[in-house]
Structure 1
Amino acid sequence: MNRLVLISGLMLFSLFFGAGNLIFPPMLGHQAGVDMWPAMAGFIVTGVLLPLLAVIVVAYFDEGVERMGRPVHPVFGMVFAVLVYLSIGALYGIPRAANVAYEVGTANLLPVHDASTLIGFSVVFFLIVFMVALNPAKIVDNIGKYLTPILLIAITLLSLFAVSRPETPLQPAQGGYGSAPVVSGILEGYFTMDLIGALAFSMVIISGLKYSGVTDRRGIVSHVLKAGMLSSVLLIVIYLALAYIGGTTARDGYENGTDILTYSSMRLFGSSGDLIFSAIVVVACLTTCIGLVNACSAFGARHYSRIPYKVYVFVFTAAGFLFTTLGLNTILSLAAPLLAFLYPVSIVLVMVSFLNIFIHFEMKHAYVLPVVTTIPISILEIIHTNGLLEMEAISTMYMTLPLSEVSLGWLLPFAAMTMIGLAVDWRRANLIDAREHQTVY
């Protein structure tokens, strides 16, 4: 493996491995118990393999997120891309990561937690983000060579000690993990929403490769595929270790994976456990924020080049700082409906675009039909889940869809519409070929 692939793979791992990725697996292992392994297999499908598909698709077409929606309509493609970058950028992804770094990383280290300490922490945090993101040519090196090894060393240290010194054997599974561990794991991976992040992180890797001299399409796809595979292997190993930590932690009313990891750190390392866990969380969130600021700034500079890249970095860093000061609960309440709308559409476009790599006739209906079916279902789900309209008919309509009880009401309609769209596109391509053949002869 050449040096560029290694550094790119380490960088991609650290971009993916944010706060959510750190705390989901321990809770899954804690609840799944003896059924942890099949549950983690399901988690890996949606939490690792689906984002990997997104990375491959973006690298193959090398036109950014907007290309995925363009076959539906050029305007839709641009609007979809803007919404993706806003959701993972200043409106949600950046301030959420910064808030988690503050809430978790300093919970037991600062004597006081109030608005002033949040602002002070955020000033230092975003100053580092700004300085690193300012030079896109060196982001791969800065993250892949320096920040990622720190992150990996801290996680590996915690994982090795915890796996070698389990507190208790794996316990009986709880809830849905006892009856359907694979399905429960798939849903847990689905709710990480890492695929939206993958759409942006892919362009960070591609830009880094281009700055390093890899410019031909085949070389970019090859390097990104290898880097994505390396990142995926690292994520799977770390996820399994974290799940095992959760599974072998004695049950005592933990509310989330953060509580489990905090307790495990203290159990294994005593008072220094706080420092180790805080370092893991802060570095994980820092690398994610750097990648998001870079991705959003590169997107803005690519489509409106009159404003320099460095100005975009300042704008997105400043916006991230301002939204961070609102607090985590406010950020989550504002962004939840947007993410609930975007995520199903993002999965649909990634899956159809991945099929497009292997299908050589023009695909139009295979994009349009699944998207125009998924969008209204996503809107119905948002209305039903958040109670936005007091209309029982809307909730009843949504709940008639298969899998709607697990927020996957769009899945079977998407599959059906994709097959119909492919059939229509295939027939259209054959008719065009037949007309051209008759013209020639």
Structure 2
Amino acid sequence: MTKKLNIKQTLLLSSLIFGMFFGAGNLIFPIHLGQLAGENWGPATIAFLLSATILPLMALISLSQTRSSGIYDLAKPLGRGFAIFFLISVHVSLGPMIATPRTATVAYSLSFSNWLPSNLQTVGQFIFSAIFFAIVYFLGSSDKHLTKYIGKYLNPIFIILLIIIFLLAIFNPLGDLHGTAQVAYQTDAFSAAFLEGYNTLDAIAALAFGITIVRAIEAMGFTESTDVAKITAKTGIFAIIGIAIVYIGLILLGASSLSHFNLSDNGTTALMQITNHYLGSLGGAFLAVMGILAVLTTAMGLTASFAQDFNRIFPKISYKKWLLLTIVLSFISANFGLDNIISWGLPVLLFLYPISITLVLLGLLSPLFNNSKIVYFPTMILVFIPAVLDGIANAPFANTFKYLIGYHDVKGILHNGIYQNLLPFADHGFGWIIPGIVGFIVGIFLYKIRRKVNVFEFVK
């Protein structure tokens, strides 16, 4: 490096990455997972950490290794058209469609929703989300200040509040960890928890946050691509380790809560019950502050990365205009309600995750084939098809194709179609794995042949 990253800068960047990653889903899904898994919290925790922390870390390292500034660069070996398609798909799903609206709805459900009568809930959510996104726009309107707002102020306050809850749970445990696991977690806790980790969106978000992390590093005076890559990997590792520790604590908190409470409908309810148990009448206000801080930093990261990436690809439209667009669209989506966001979010995630994971793995393995397009194409083609089918199998309209693709009933139980019966692991949501491996082997084979031909022609 031309100059060394000091401890203060390391902590600040790690805090920035932690704050952008740790938002709505990261707070509520691990708690609910702990309740669902009950006594099988061990394998469930390992699986959840694999998809919710290891995959995001691999994504950051992949960006670092390929010297990519974000989604577009990582997908570019498949062509400019695919790179733009994937960039738009990721940012629209992380932005206006799923993740950014979810930050506002979860913040509302953890705060003012608990204090307003039922007849004012719709109006309350509308007003709250309007104020919430106005703050996001104000704080994010200058992307140069994101590191200061998120890394230096908002995220440290959130971490302090979270530590308070953990300390209370350590010195006054809710109960043991032997609660009854739900049906899906009695027989297949690992795959169920792995897919639950998808809901945090972090493996995909890591690709989206890449450009924001890179610009934050550059703002500190590190402009060489090698330096930026090393710093991204280093601070990313620190941030992900911190997130993993928090996840384990939340899962254990959820599992032990079964000694006091029945299985909740969602993690938001469970978190409210636990906070009220420890803090009594102060629990609601405490959770409101903690929840809003958690999702605010993520909303800022998501909207800023959306605006930065789109401004980079379509520079005629300014950063602020892209920022305003994603915030307005997210505000509209947020007022459809959290349940609708989650029901439509799952099929989109099951489509995007296989593509994202494949791109990350190809980036990590790229030194083996010199980042050659001839490896990317067959791998991605064979992953893309089952990714589409996995998305359809989890969509609200999946029953239309029930005999061909399969569908999930109202209890979440999968009814296999031809797709699940023919392709290994498809009934667990991993139908893309075998085709992806086959595509990669074909790609490597073609790469080796072309290399030999090129060497032969050169010698000749």
Task: State if a TM-score over 0.5 links the two structures.
Answer: yes
Query: 1:6 offset after TM fit, Å?
Result: 1.0
Indicate yes or no: 2:21 matched with 1:16: yes
Aligned to 2:438: 416
- Which residue of 2 is the match for residue 59 of structure 1? 64
Alignment partner, residue 114 of structure 1: 121
Q: Which residue of 1 aligns with 2:410?
A: none
Could you give the per-residue CA deviations for residues 280-315 of structure 1, whole angstroms, max 9, x where no partner exists? Answer: 211111111101110011112112222221222222
Which among 295, 298, 307 is matched to residue 305 of structure 2? 295
Question: Would the aligned equivalents of 2:351 and 2:387 in 1 still touch at CA under 8 Å?
Answer: yes
Residue in 2 that maps onto 1:305:
315
Greater mean deviation of Cα atoms: 322-331 or 269-278? 322-331
Which residue of structure 2 aligns with residue 154 of structure 1?
A: 161
Cα distance, 1:177–1:125 mapped onto 2, change above 3 Å: same
1:368 aligns to 2:385 (yes or no):
no
Percent of aligned positions with the same letter in both sequences? 28
Alignment pair present for 1:91 and 2:97: yes
Contact 2:21 2:205 in 1 (8 A): yes
Do the aligned residues in 1 keep the contact of 2:113 with 2:125 (CA within 8 Å)?
A: no
> TM-score of the superposition, structure 1-length normalised?
0.93
Q: Distance in 2 between matches of 1:183 and 1:381?
A: 15
Q: Check the 8 A contact 1:59/1:206 in 2, yes or no.
A: no
Quick check: 1:204 aligned with 2:212? yes
- Change over 3 Å in CA distance of 1:394–1:243 after alignment to 2: closer
Pair 324,182 (structure 1): closer, same or farther in 2 beyond 3 Å: closer
After alignment, is 35-44 or 46-55 more displaced?
A: 35-44
2:230 to 222, 227, 245: 222
- State how far apart, in whole Å, the 2-side matches of 1:187 and 1:106 are: 30
Residues 96 and 328 in structure 1, CA contact (< 8 A), matched pair in contact too? yes
Q: Verify the 8 A CA contact 1:363 1:422 in the aligned structure 2.
A: no
1:402 counterpart letter in structure 2: P
Among candidates 19, 44, 55, match of residue 50 of structure 1: 55
Looking at structure 2, the residues matched to 417 and 162 of structure 1 have their Cα atoms a distance apart, in angstroms, of 48
The separation in 2 between residues aligned to 1:224 and 1:109, in whole angstroms, is 42
SS in 1 for 2:116: coil
CA distance 1:63–1:153, change in 2 (3 Å): closer
1:181-196 matches, cutoff 5 A: 181-196=189-204
Residue 11 of structure 2: aligned partner: 6
State the distance in 1 between where 2:39 and 2:271 align: 19
Q: Secondary structure at the match of 1:213?
A: coil
Going from structure 1 to structure 2, the CA distance change for 1:17 and 1:121 (only over 3 Å counts) comes to same
CA distance in 2: counterparts of 1:290 and 1:162, whole angstroms: 30
Aligned equivalents of 1:35, 1:304: Cα separation in 2:
48
2:310/2:322 contact within 8 Å kept: yes
- In 2, the alpha carbon distance for the partners of 1:63 and 1:254 equals 40
Which stretch has the larger CA shift, 200-209 or 68-77? 68-77
Quick one: which amino acid aligns to residue 139 of structure 1?
L
Instruction: Report what 2:413 is aligned to.
Output: none
Letter of the 1:196 counterpart: I
Q: Residue type matched to 2:403 in 1?
A: E
Counterpart-to-counterpart distance in 2, 1:147 and 1:315: 24
Q: Which letter maps to 1:424?
A: L
Show the counterpart of 1:127: 134
Report 1:353-432 matches (<5 A). 353-356=363-366, 358-386=367-395, 387-388=397-398, 389-390=400-401, 392-395=403-406, 396-399=417-420, 400-432=422-454
The reply on whether 1:235 has 2:246 as its aligned counterpart is no
5+ residue gaps, structure 2, are: 1-5, 407-416
Q: Is the 8 A contact 2:378 2:440 kept in 1?
A: yes
Q: Deviations over 1:196-223 (max 9, x none)?
A: 1111112111111112211111111121
* SS at structure 2 position matched to 1:393: coil
State how far apart, in whole Å, the 1-side matches of 2:227 and 2:426 are: 42
CA contact (8 A) 1:162 1:264 kept: no
Contact 2:57 2:236 in 1 (8 A): yes
Q: Which moved more, 1:309-318 or 1:383-392?
A: 383-392
Q: Which residue of 1 aligns with 2:171?
A: 164
Letter in 1 for 2:229: V
Q: Secondary structure at the match of 1:90?
A: helix
Distance of aligned partners of 1:153 and 1:282 in 2 relative to their CA distance in 1, 3 Å threshold? same
Q: 2:352 aligns with which of 342, 358, 363?
A: 342
Please give the alpha-carbon distance, in whole angstroms, between the structure 2 residues aligned to 1:334 and 1:160: 36
Aligned to 2:109: 103
**Are residues 336 and 253 of structure 1, via their aligned partners in 2, closer, same or farther at CA, if it must alter by over 3 Å?**
closer
Q: In the TM superposition, what is the alpha-carbon distance from 1:363 to its structure 2 partner?
A: 2.2
The one-letter amino acid of 1:261's match is L
Say whether the 8 Å CA contact 1:163–1:245 is kept in structure 2: no
Any conservation in 1 of the 2:306–2:326 contact (CA below 8 Å)?
Answer: yes
Q: Is the 8 A contact 2:71 2:210 kept in 1?
A: no
